[in-house]
Structure formats: structure tokens, C-alpha cells
Structure 1
Amino acid sequence: FFFGICFIMDGSTKEVANPRSGSVVSVADNETVIDSEEGEIQLGNPNIQRQKEDILYHLGLSNLGSDLALMFGDTRFVCMGGSAVRAEKFANKLATRLSISIPTGMGLTSVGKTERFSLFKIGPIISVNHGMGMPSMSILLHEITKLLFHAKARGVSFMRIGTSGGLGIPAGTVVATTEGVNGKLESCYEQIVLGKEVKHETLLDTDLAKLAVSLSNVAGKEPVPCVLGKTIGTNDFYEGQGRFDGAVVSYSAQDRIDWLQKAYDSGVRNIEMESTCFAAWCHRMKIPGMIICAVLLNRLEGDQVTATPEQLQQYSANAQEIALRVIEHKLAIEQ
């Protein structure tokens, strides 16, 4: 392969040119698109039909057991973060920020079951946690996308809002991701499907990312440090991210700094554990997607998160503030 372009040499895939980037990516040859009304979520699985029961097992919902169109048909944004507690807090923050009143004596409650994910609906926005890492996020992405398909929601955008380790930028800075890259610094998400390797391109909506940066410093609002950058998505927190503070280490200090510096030089500004899965899904499903993550430390200076609880709370709030400004801006345009 060439740097940044993924090729797969097996008979189950086809090569497709991306009209925006000009790069070529291999996709499943039998991937199809379900016909939907203009602007509605489209699936790539003909086995999923609205008139047949589809159990969204990990969400505790089904298309025939609930009126998903009534519950979620007006959804415009799906905001995702790792923690269930953070998802609930963000939902309450949305209610306050968008002046959505909650009846006296009542509070926001999660929809469906909560063993794996906690989903909250406030106005035209879903706030839900995706757990930690790409396997957990992949489950949520499948089921939340099917939920929106059954709900006949239109014009939906996905947001991942969270925290990360930074590269060459100070703690508290928010990174608006332009594309996800893996640990090899390739712009693709790798899966093993039926024993074969399949890769998907990981571009995100650059207009949304640029909008996030432009809204970070506007008149009348507190400026929030925010930059564009690529985001590495790894399969684990320690060795996959080149840390020296895990229980084992299999590389030298020079190997570590060489990899981090190479990543920085290629445009990477932060590292987390979901970006390639999320970006590939949004690109594959043609859903506008953005990742807004605050950095907790500069990994070029160390591995330990030494910020105080108050500082960590502020860093997380920075990412949420950028996401809120994007939501407010987009909703205002539609009115």
C-alpha cells in the first residue's frame, strides 16, 4: 500500500475512489444501500426492514415494540461520549442551554435499558455513552443508526465529545478532528470480517471541524482553545499509545519519542481509542460526523495525567462548550 491509502487484495472487496480526497479505498463488494426518503438515514443491509421486528438488543428497544418515529423522528444530533455519567450531565446541560423546560418534579431519565449504554433524548438531540474503545463504540453505532433509520430521522449529524492525550498542544486544548488514523498512521479503520481483513477510509466532515474552530473564539463568549488535527485511534490505552506507565513495556524511550514525533509531524494532534471506528462509520454511512476532544496532557512531555479534578472538569467542559456552539449554530440556521 501507499501511505494513507488502503488496499485489500481479496475477491470480496472492490476499490472505490473517494470524490473528496481522490484516494482509493476497498469496501465490501456486496454492500448495498436501502432506499429511503431524501435525507433519511440509509442502511447497507437489505435484511433490515421497517415492517419486520428489529431488536436493538443493547439499547433495550425494538422498532415494533416502541414508536421510534414518535420518540426519535425529530433527531438532528447524536452526541456520544465514553461515560454514562457524562452523557447524562451533557443532556442536562443541553436542556439548560437550549431553554428546554423539564416539568416540575421530574428529571431526565434514560430511554431503554442501561446495562451497556445510557441514552437520553432532549429536544432534537440524543446524548448517549459509547463505552470505552472501538468494540463498544461499534455496537452503539450499529444500533443507534438502525434506531434512526426506523425513526425516519432526517439530516442527522453524529458527534463524539470526549477527552484524549494531546501531541504538541497544551492541556485543555480542544481538537476538532479532520480524520482518524490508526497506530501505523494510516487513514483507515481495520476489521476482520469472516476471517478476512477489511479496511474503511476514515475521513470526517471538514466543514463541521472548521466550524468548530471558528466558533471557539467569537465575540461575547469566552474563548476556548481549539485546533484542527488528525486523531490517532488505538486498540488499547497503554502499549498501543506508546506509554511508559503501563504494567509492561516492549519498546525503548527512543522508539516511543520517534513514533510520537512522527505522528505530530504528520498532523496528528491527539490520541484516543475511538476515532478510526467513528470516522469510518460516518464516512461509510454518509452521516456528517465530527470528533471534539479536549486533551488532558501533552504526550510529548509525559504519560501521567497530573491535572487536578477541577482542571479535568474544565478540560471536559471545553469540549462540551465547542459542541454546544456547533449545535446552537446549526439549529439557528434551520429556523
Structure 2
Amino acid sequence: MSQERSVSSKNPNLDEMFSDFLYHLAVNVPDTKNTADIKKQYGHIKAILGERVARSAQFDERLRKDLIACTEAADAEEQNAWDIIEGNTMGTDCFYEGQGRLDGASCTKANGEPYTVDDKLNFLKRCHDECGIRNIEMEAPMFAALTLHCGIRAADVCVTLLNRLEGDQVKSTKAQLKDFEERPFKLVSRFIRRYIINSA
């Protein structure tokens, strides 16, 4: 590629990465770096008929308790294979800057300066310690807001692939990812079985 057509990244951290996996590009991302009051950022904002509408994004408390009650597996081997924990989910509009990652095309603070590893870790520690966040994703707020708005009981059962305080890259093998993918289905299957038995 000629010099005139090359694309330069605004993320100096990429020079230190061993791999160049780019999962998504963060485009038109709102300012998610203001952590003055993270809890006030919970919710889902969307445009309806050209107007900005903010809706609460909370899941059903009773359903959460029912799912946690199903954490006992059918056999001891499966039960001891992995932990099921409760925690809050932080939803973001993108995979990179909104989640404080250092491996995207851009990682720039509101003042235009790149954020650092320390900036990222301080943000994630506040999310973990002050808000009980144990999962970060992009889909949960919209799902929670819609189901709550429509009066449908819902919950978010997910797998946390990596500890973000230790890094940004997903290094799990294909077999591990397949196993992780099946875990929520196993838990929800237990819940459905119990629900059917108790309803009979």
C-alpha cells in the first residue's frame, strides 16, 4: 500500500501488541469516559420518531433469584467445572473505547489525548468496586430496557471471557470458547426443567 493510501491509527498502544485482532471499530461513540457517577449512566437511550428517549434498563429481580437457585448442577463433575456468580452488567455502545480497551483503532480521552493503561485500570476498578460490574457487553441494555418496558420478565445469562484487569485480548482456544458458549444454555435448561416440574 502506498504511503498516500495508508491508514494510521490514533492508538499508540497498538505498537506494543503482538496480535492485530480487530473485533469492531468504534464509530460515533458517545463520551463514556466520564466516570464521575457511573451509576447514573445505567439505562438505554434511543431515538423514537426523532426524539431522544431514555428508558430504565433493569432485569427482573425474581427471575435472577430463580436462575441463581438453579446453579446446582445435576452431577458433581459439572457442578465443579465452573462458577456461577451474580453481578452487574455494564452495557456500552462499542467494543473498544466504551469498554476502555487499549487494542482498538482509537483510545482517546475527551481532551484528545490517548488514555493509558493506568487510566483504563482505574476506570475498570471503579466499575468493579463501586458498581459491582462483572460483565461488559453491548446488547444487555437494549434487551433489559425493551423487556422492562413491555412488562416481560427477563435476565442476562452470560459468560465473562476474560478478566479485563489482566488484559484486553481474548486468548481462549476454540474448544474453550465452545465450552463457554454452552454454559448459559446449561443453566437456562436447568431453570426451564425446574419451572416445568414446579408448574405441573
TM beyond 0.5? yes
Gaps of 5+ in 2: 1-23, 25-36, 109-114
Q: Could you tell me how far apart the structure 2 residues matched to 1:194 and 1:329 are?
A: 42
Structure possessing the higher relative contact order (Cα contacts under 8 Å, 6 or more residues apart): 2
Q: Take 2:73 and 2:47, find their aligned partners in 1: how far apart are those partners?
A: 45
- Equivalent pair of 1:239/1:249 in contact (CA under 8 Å): yes
Given residue 242 of structure 1, which amino acid in structure 2 is its aligned partner? G
Query: How far apart are 1:194 and its partner, in Å?
Result: 3.4
8 Å contact kept, 1:241–1:271: yes
Match of 2:128 among 252, 264, 269: 264
Q: Is the 8 A contact 2:88 2:133 kept in 1?
A: yes
The amino acid across from 2:139 in the alignment is: E
Paired with 1:309 and 1:280, the residues of 2 have a C-alpha distance of: 32
Structure 1: which amino acid aligns with 2:122? D
Q: How far off its partner does 1:219 sit?
A: 5.7
CA distance in 2: counterparts of 1:219 and 1:318, whole angstroms:
13
- Matching of residues 57-136 of structure 1 within 5 Å: none
Aligned counterpart, 1:302: 167
- Residue 118 of structure 2 aligns with an amino acid whose one-letter code is Q
CA distance in 2, matches of 1:220, 1:315: 18
For the 8 Å contact 2:159–2:184, the answer to whether it is kept is yes
Q: Alpha-carbon deviation of 1:253?
A: 1.9
In the alignment, the residues of structure 2 paired with residue 313 and residue 247 of structure 1 have an alpha-carbon distance, to the nearest angstrom, of 28
Alignment partners' CA distance in 2, 1:188 and 1:213: 23
Indicate whether 1:247 and 2:105 are aligned: yes
Deviations along 1:241-273, one digit per CA (max 9) or x if unpaired, are 111111222122222112111111111110011
State the alpha-carbon separation in 2 of the partners of residues 187 and 249 from structure 1.
22
Offset, 1:217: 2.2
Query: What is the percent sequence identity of the aligned residues?
Result: 34
Which stretches of structure 1, 4 residues or longer, exceed 3 Å deviation after superposition?
A: 218-221
Matches within 5 A, 1:201-240: 201-218=56-73, 220=75, 222-223=78-79, 224-240=82-98
CA RMSD of aligned residues (A): 2.0
Does residue 285 (structure 1) correspond to residue 150 (structure 2)? The answer is yes
Letter in 2 for 1:212: L
The answer to whether the 8 Å contact 2:60/2:155 transfers is: yes
* Structure with the larger helix share: 2
- Richer in strand (by share): 1
How far did residue 206 of structure 1 move? 1.4
**Contact in 1 for aligned 2:89/2:133 (Cα 8 Å):** yes
Q: Which segment drifts farther, 215-224 or 186-195?
A: 215-224
Matched, 1:319 2:184: yes
CA distance in 1, matches of 2:153, 2:63: 8
C-alpha contact 1:187 1:201 (8 A) present in aligned 2? yes
Question: Unmatched 5+ residue regions in structure 1?
Answer: 1-131, 133-182
Which whole-Å CA distance do the structure 1 matches of 2:106 and 2:180 have between them? Answer: 29
TM-score, scaled relative to structure 2: 0.71
Contact 1:210–1:228 at 8 Å: present in 2 too? no
Per-residue deviation, 1:303: 0.4
TM norm structure 1:
0.43
Per the TM alignment, residue 237 of structure 1 is displaced from its structure 2 partner at its CA by 0.9
Equivalent residue number for residue 139 of structure 2: 274
**Cα-to-partner distance string for 1:32-83 (whole Å, 9 max, x where unaligned):** xxxxxxxxxxxxxxxxxxxxxxxxxxxxxxxxxxxxxxxxxxxxxxxxxxxx
Q: Please tell me whether the aligned partners of residues 43 and 55 of structure 2 are also in contact (alpha carbons under 8 angstroms).
A: yes
Counterpart residue type for residue 168 of structure 2 = D
Aligned residues: 154
